[in-house]
Amino acid sequence: MKPGNASLSEPGPNVALCARSLVKRYKNSDHPALHNFNLDVQQGEFYGLLGPNGAGKTTAISILTGLFPPDSGIVRIMGMVFRERQNEIKQILGLVPQNIGLYDKLTARENLTFFGKLCGIRGKKLTARIQQSLVFSRLTEHALQPVATFSTGMKRRLNLAVGLLNAPQVLVLDEPCVGIDAQSRHLIHEQLQDLNQRGTTILYTTHYIEEAQELCSRIGIIDNGRIVEEGTPTALLQQSGIANLEDLFLHLTGKELRDT
Amino acid sequence: MLKILATTAKEVLLLLRDRTGLLVLFLMPAILVVVITLVQENVMELTGQSKTQVLLLDQDQGELGRLLRKQLEAGSLEFVVWDEKQNDVADIQAAVAGGDYQVGIVVPNGASTRFKEETARLFQQGNGPAKPEDIVSTSLHLFVDPGIMAGLRSGVTAQLQMALTTIALEAKIAMLSKTLRETMDSLGAPPELIPLDSGKLHALFRQSILTLTEDQGDSRAAGISLYNPVQQNVPAWALFGMFFTAIPIAGSILQERRSGISIRLSALPVSPLVLFTGKAVAYIGVCLCQFLLIVLIGTFLFPHIGLPCFTISMNLTAVLLTALLSSLAACGYGIFLGVACNSYEQASTLGATTVVAAAALGGVMVPVYAMPHMMQRLSIISPLNWGLTAFHDLLLRGYSLPAILDNLGRLFLFFAVTVLLSWKLARLRQ
């Protein structure tokens, strides 16, 4: 699908995550962070959002997960309009933020318990979910250790596990593998692919182009607040006639440094 | 409710894991209440609200010195007598000028004899009373520390002057009685014609016919302690400590924002109000424990270090309610600071400055009545003043719960407004 087509149509019945004409402008900024941003992610899809620094990835994810509202435009999750049914949407939506949003002084189990209870899970269901999360993140043996004693890889795995506590239908991940070793990255990739195969819709942002190519069934390249190209990795390469995704990425977003 | 409890449990765990921070929260008001009360106990002496020591050098060793001590020891002066053989006037002067004693008095050698002689001359038999200008007044030397407060200076000199006046008056009455008897005897009048004998004159003189009675309202009936630094400082510094918890509350909110936890929390199906409430409940527990600690210090430690015992003689429920609502106000302020500030440095600087200023304005450091008029009027804006006034109404004035409802209402309103503002601000920040 060519970028921008999404804005012309209503979302289909199988669209898990839909953004229409999103505009966001920050105070004291000359350019909008998002400018007519449109996106459709199908149910069960593993969608990668690629973009240089300042392209609007984090703003897009923040609006898509309800962290703050857009200046204009609309977001639907599983057919529900975000601003109308926030609480219901948050029950089926998972977010794995780029920063490791965990309490350092609490143990892994205590972190999972707290965030699980905030998701509204309780009793035996909560105990079972916590156990599943610990197994999922390979942290069962470290469950009673404070997070402060964890390596970055362990923290990233727990960060992911917390995002999965409510068994989300739609999972949004913001650079979940930054700064970790190959082993932890490999494990996270495996787990995400497994989740996706079991039906979880995933929206994934990354700086690593090869990572997106390996994991994602479809990729959108964002720059200057809008999607500039979109398609499966193979289709993108075929359409552009460029040999690899990194060259395509540079071709679309330019080689200028994005320091601001 | 589950989410509030989960947040409270998490906050309690975080507090327990930060033992240094927790220790500071309890140690700071505990040290302050002990140190400041000890310091103010001395100030109470300086302002004459407790016994003042007077250094006495009795070079005369006669009746005058003895009468002076007898007159004054029943009041608020306590004599320290220096040996007249080992010390002289210069020593007394140096001790007072050096600040070792606030007041020194010297009864010069021969003062008692001269006093008696001059009293007798007033009623010289045969020649009638002497002319006032012929009488030589016996002078005692008084030294007062130039550093003491004007109120104490005038209080002490007034007491001394009153004692001397009483001694002189009694001596005059005795002399008058004696002269009268001798005159009647010389005229050959029978004793029953003498209108008043010496003993009756003394009794009449001591008979009180005009008195000043202080009305202490309900407090005396309720057995409530009169104002002293302990009754002032225990609730005052407990409040100060409670309001200082605003800084760690703000710190915990800012830490969540800095670490990215707040992003995760925003994506969860939970309202910021629930998170604020859960946090407030945990810190209210901390504030109440602080209050309890300071009360225990006042009750059990103070008597062992020479301070009066803190007493809550009545209205325990009202006292606890005041402590609870003060805690709520403190937590509300902490939440507001955490949401309004951008960094921990900002919050700690602003928090410490505002709490210290509110404490000073509210009467924690200096009682409100001792402030300039304008500051007294301004003190009404300090939440610490609302709490402290409520405590004083209960602990010193013997009021009951209905009388302090206005201040309790202000504390609750402050909590509600700060939390609502925080909620609005948190939404705006998004």
Which residues on chain A are in Cβ contact (under 8 Å) with B264?
A: 95, 97, 101, 115, 162-163
Q: Do A67 and B3 touch (CB under 8 A)?
A: no
User: How much of chain A, in percent, has pLDDT values that exceed 90?
Assistant: 18
Q: What does the mean pLDDT of chain A come to? A: 84
Nearest CB to A114; choose among B6, B263, B267 = B6
Domain boundary, last residue among B204, B220, B236:
B220
What tens digit of pLDDT does each residue of B371-391 get? Answer: 778 888 888 899 999 999 898
B318 shares a domain with B361: yes
The candidate with the shortest Cα–Cα distance to B426, out of B286, B270, B242, is B270
Q: Do A101 and B270 touch (CB under 8 A)?
A: no
What tens digit of pLDDT does each residue of B324-345 get? Answer: 999 999 999 999 999 999 888 8
What tens digit of pLDDT does each residue of A163-206 get? Answer: 888 889 999 998 888 778 888 888 888 888 988 999 899 999 88
Instruction: Name the residue in chain B with its Cα closest to that of A26.
Output: B430
B287 shares a domain with B140: no
B291 shares a domain with B240: yes
What tens digit of pLDDT does each residue of A202-230 get? Answer: 999 887 788 888 888 898 888 888 888 88
Query: Does the pLDDT at position A26 exceed 80?
Result: yes
Domain boundary, last residue among B201, B220, B239:
B220
B165 shares a domain with B307: no
Provide the pairing of β-strand A226-231 with A170-174. Answer: unpaired
Q: Alpha helices, DSSP H only, in A28-172? A: 57-64, 86-92, 108-118, 123-136, 152-163
The per-residue pLDDT for B72 is: 80
The per-residue pLDDT for B197 is: 63
Q: Where are the beta strands (DSSP E) in B117-274?
A: 141-144
Domain with residue B189: its CATH number is 3.40.1710
Other C-beta atoms closer than 10 Å to the C-beta of B212 total 4
Residues 6+ apart with CB under 8 A from B424: none
The more confidently predicted of residues A104 and A31 is A104
Q: Where are the beta strands (DSSP E) in B17-125?
A: 52-58, 77-82, 103-107
For B212, the domain range is 51-220
B394 shares a domain with B250: yes
Q: Do B10 and A104 touch (CB under 8 A)?
A: no
Report how far residue A128's alpha carbon sits from residue B265's, in angstroms, rounded to the nearest whole number.
Answer: 22
Which range (B41-45, B220-224, B230-234, B362-366) has the least confidence?
A: B220-224
Q: Do B430 and A69 touch (CB under 8 A)?
A: yes
The answer to whether B20 faces chain A, any CB pair under 8 Å, is: no
Q: What is the CATH number of domain A5-253?
A: 3.40.50.300
What tens digit of pLDDT does each residue of B383-415 get? Answer: 999 999 898 888 877 788 888 899 999 999 999
Q: What does the mean pLDDT of chain B come to? A: 82
Instruction: Name the residue in chain A with its Cα closest to that of B259.
Output: A101
B323 shares a domain with B263: yes
Nearest CB to A95; choose among B14, B18, B267 = B267
Which residues on chain A are in Cβ contact (under 8 Å) with B265?
A: 101, 118
Assigned token pair, A19: 């953004």
B201 shares a domain with B272: no
Residue A241 is given by DSSP the state: T
Q: Do A93 and B264 touch (CB under 8 A)?
A: no
Count structural domains, chain B: 2
Domain boundary, last residue among B220, B238, B272:
B220
The per-residue pLDDT for A1 is: 46
The more confidently predicted of residues B301 and B136 is B301
Q: Do A114 and B430 touch (CB under 8 A)?
A: no
B179 shares a domain with B57: yes
- Calculate mean pLDDT across residues A147-160: 90
B410 shares a domain with B266: yes
The candidate with the shortest Cα–Cα distance to B140, out of B94, B103, B113, B106, is B106
Query: Does the pLDDT at position A7 exceed 50?
Result: no
CA B265 to chain centroid: 48
The answer to whether B430 faces chain A, any CB pair under 8 Å, is: yes
Bridge partners, residue A41, by sequence: A17
Single-letter residue type at A166: N
Query: Does the pLDDT at position B213 exceed 80?
Result: no
What is the per-residue burial (b if ≥16 Cβ within 10 Å, else e) of B50-83?
bebebbbbbbbebebbebbbebbeeeebebeebe
CA A220 to chain centroid: 13
Q: Do A90 and B269 touch (CB under 8 A)?
A: yes
Q: Which of A98, A117, A118 to mutate to test the interface with B (most CBs of B within 10 A)?
A: A118
Instruction: Name the residue in chain B with its Cα closest to that of A159.
Output: B264
B393 shares a domain with B307: yes
What tens digit of pLDDT does each residue of B255-308 get? Answer: 998 888 988 988 888 888 899 899 999 999 999 999 999 989 988 988 888 777
Report how far residue A71's alpha carbon sits from residue A33's, in angstroms, rounded to the nearest whole number.
Answer: 11
Q: Do A67 and B263 touch (CB under 8 A)?
A: yes
Q: Do B268 and A99 touch (CB under 8 A)?
A: no
B102 shares a domain with B70: yes
Residue A100 is given by DSSP the state: -
Query: Domain-by-domain residue ranges, chain A?
Result: 5-253
Stated as kind and residue range, the H or E segment containing A248 is helix A245-253
Assigned token pair, B131: 């002319």
